[in-house]
Structure 1
Amino acid sequence: MAEPAGVALVTGASTGIGRHLVEGLARRGMAVAGLARGGERLRVAMAEVAEVTGGRTLAVAADVTDQASVEAAVGEVREQLGPVDLLVNNAGLVDEAEVPLWEADPDQWWGVVTSHLRGSFLLSRAVVPWMLLRNRGRVVNLASGMSTRANPDYSAYSVAKTGLMRITESLALSLEGSDVRVFDVAPGVVDTPMTRSMRMWQGFTDWTPLEEVVGIVAAIAGGELDQWSGRFVRAGKDDLETLRSTTPEGAARQLRLRPYGGGDPLA
């Protein structure tokens, strides 16, 4: 398969999955802009990627939940690298305490939801219209296993990741007839500082290889998985060759109510 070309914009790019996606996409020939709140750490990360890959990178400090910051950042990326061909909405927080909803700090809980949903909304709002003008582009929203099933100790993260799937599907429906596609990609359990901070993963060792996450995102960027637009795929479980050769039908890999039986009026 041909390597993806063009410009990628990755949020939450200074560490964790975002940092690895930046490097993986740069190795595959894409010019990559990284967004994160911490400017200095981000600049160091992007410089390291440029040095080890020989690719072109750009560090843009921005708060993904602030509309003016997002619009200025996207404008800078467009001016410095060109129009965005691949947007990866990766930035987002996680619940600080593993507690039931009624014991959670309200501001921190809402901050988690905002980081994922407002962040992806504002980035998509700023980038997708330019993709439509060119009739070309791919959007990846970083999903999670908690997108599809609740977790009592991570209620904010579960709400955020489920909401992100609805954003993906809504966008996909709005974009029908164009060559702009949007996907949910769950990275699996990746060895990152955020994952290690979560008590539920203490002692876990069966990490999803980061290269598998990069491989799926790169395949999306290259237009190889277009039939999965508006749907959920999972690195480490989904085989890339199977995804390439499979066309899902109906509501496969989308969130739906399950009928309680043959007489269910909502079936």
Structure 2
Amino acid sequence: MADATSTPHVLPARTALVTGASRGIGRAVALGLARAGLDVALLARDAARLEEVAAEVRAIGRSALVLAAEVADPAQVRDAVARAEAPAGPADTDGLGGVDLLVNAAGRIDTEVPLWEADPDEWWSVMETNLRGPFLLCREVVPGMLARGGGRVVDLNSGSGSHDMVDASAYNVSKTALMRLGSHLHAAGFDRGLRVLELAPGVVQTDMTASMRSHEGRTEWTPVERTVDVVTAFARGELDACSGWFVRVSHDTPGSLRELAATTTAPAARRLRVQPAGPDDGLRHVLTGR
């Protein structure tokens, strides 16, 4: 496992780009980061809603940049990141001077049916938002991070990224693939200062969860503040030893993660692995030891 003590020290983030920032978890994270002292670029499709969030960020005393864009469109993502990385200035339309923290919070879920009943166009559209979007954002943002000595990426993942689901197969597949994407970024970029976290926010009360049949009648929700707390701690550099990990804020806190990172000896802590069939499986060490 990569050792955070033998790689470049990454300074606390000063700026962040948050996708899906117009509502729900993305909005809460953007405002939480602003309260923690970061300037924030807000990316989503709804410019009017983004302006409302930007006004809240500015009321906190931080700079906010509105980036109306579709995360699955390469040209729009490229232009949005270029604006975010433009030199900072006094105007609201000026850039942040660079992106220290990327939070991929934009996401969708498909109709809750088994794969053979899924609509092909809807299925692929969910894959584009949940996987192609983070890929495009990372592809544009990470080179600048590495050039400046490092940076951080948080993917809003899900328990469906680590567990099988009987419905919403596009969401299930996309979140699993997103976790593998994060593992790749960690493996390829850690020694150059890149830190990555796959974060499952639990079941937060949002427009998306309200639309899901599986949550009908639910009365217990995961407070979104748990997600904000972990993202903020990660932005500050307090959880860099957890880079590459899958965390679930329904159980994990900044404090518990720091303690766990200090004592773990697993070669692939909190990462996807194929489980052996049993103790006599000839592939047991191959599957779990790297």
Normalising by the smaller structure, the TM-score range is: over 0.9
Partners of 1:31 and 1:57 within 8 A in 2: yes
**Residues 96-141 of structure 1 deviation map (CA, whole Å, 9 limit, x = unaligned):** x221111111000111011111000000000001110011210001
Deviation at 1:40, TM superposition (A): 1.8
Deviation at 1:58, TM superposition (A): 1.1
For residue 190 of structure 2, give the secondary structure of its aligned residue in structure 1. Answer: coil
Aligned partner of 1:217 among 228, 231, 236: 231
Q: How does 1:75-114 map to 2 (within 5 A)?
A: 75-79=82-86, 80-95=95-110, 97-114=111-128
Paired with 2:254 and 2:152, the residues of 1 have a C-alpha distance of 17
For residue 256 of structure 1, give the secondary structure of its aligned residue in structure 2. Answer: coil
- 2:278 aligned with 1:261: yes
Q: Normalising by structure 1, what TM-score? A: 0.95
For residue 192 of structure 2, give the secondary structure of its aligned residue in structure 1. Answer: coil
Paired with 2:131 and 2:229, the residues of 1 have a C-alpha distance of 25
The amino acid of 1:204's aligned partner reads R
The amino acid of 1:176's aligned partner reads F
For residue 14 of structure 1, give the secondary structure of its aligned residue in structure 2. Answer: coil
2:160 match? 146
2:19 match? 11
Unaligned regions of 5+ residues in structure 2, if any?
Answer: 1-10, 87-94, 285-290
1:125 match? 139
For residue 246 of structure 1, give the secondary structure of its aligned residue in structure 2. Answer: helix
Deviation at 1:4, TM superposition (A): 5.0
2:179 match? 165
Paired with 2:259 and 2:149, the residues of 1 have a C-alpha distance of 24
The amino acid of 1:246's aligned partner reads L
1:191 match? 205
Please identify, of 42-51 and 67-76, the stretch whose mean Cα deviation from structure 2 is larger.
42-51
Deviation at 1:246, TM superposition (A): 2.1
1:134 match? 148
Deviation at 1:251, TM superposition (A): 1.9
The amino acid of 1:73's aligned partner reads A
Partners of 2:43 and 2:68 within 8 A in 1: yes
Partners of 1:136 and 1:180 within 8 A in 2: yes
Deviation at 1:57, TM superposition (A): 1.0
The amino acid of 1:14's aligned partner reads S
Paired with 1:65 and 1:5, the residues of 2 have a C-alpha distance of 25
Unaligned regions of 5+ residues in structure 1, if any?
Answer: none
1:22 match? 30
Deviation at 1:44, TM superposition (A): 2.0
Aligned partner of 1:60 among 62, 67, 78: 67
1:40 match? 48
1:231 match? 245
Aligned-pair identity in percent equals 52
Please identify, of 85-94 and 42-51, the stretch whose mean Cα deviation from structure 2 is larger.
42-51
Q: Normalising by structure 2, what TM-score? A: 0.88
Partners of 2:185 and 2:194 within 8 A in 1: no
The amino acid of 1:133's aligned partner reads A
**Residues 18-49 of structure 1 deviation map (CA, whole Å, 9 limit, x = unaligned):** 01011100011000111001222222222233
Q: What number of residue pairs does the alignment pair up?
A: 263
C-alpha spacing 1:129/1:137, structure 2 compared with 1 (3 Å):
same
For residue 255 of structure 1, give the secondary structure of its aligned residue in structure 2. Answer: coil
For residue 165 of structure 1, give the secondary structure of its aligned residue in structure 2. Answer: helix
Paired with 2:123 and 2:47, the residues of 1 have a C-alpha distance of 25
Please identify, of 127-136 and 247-256, the stretch whose mean Cα deviation from structure 2 is larger.
247-256
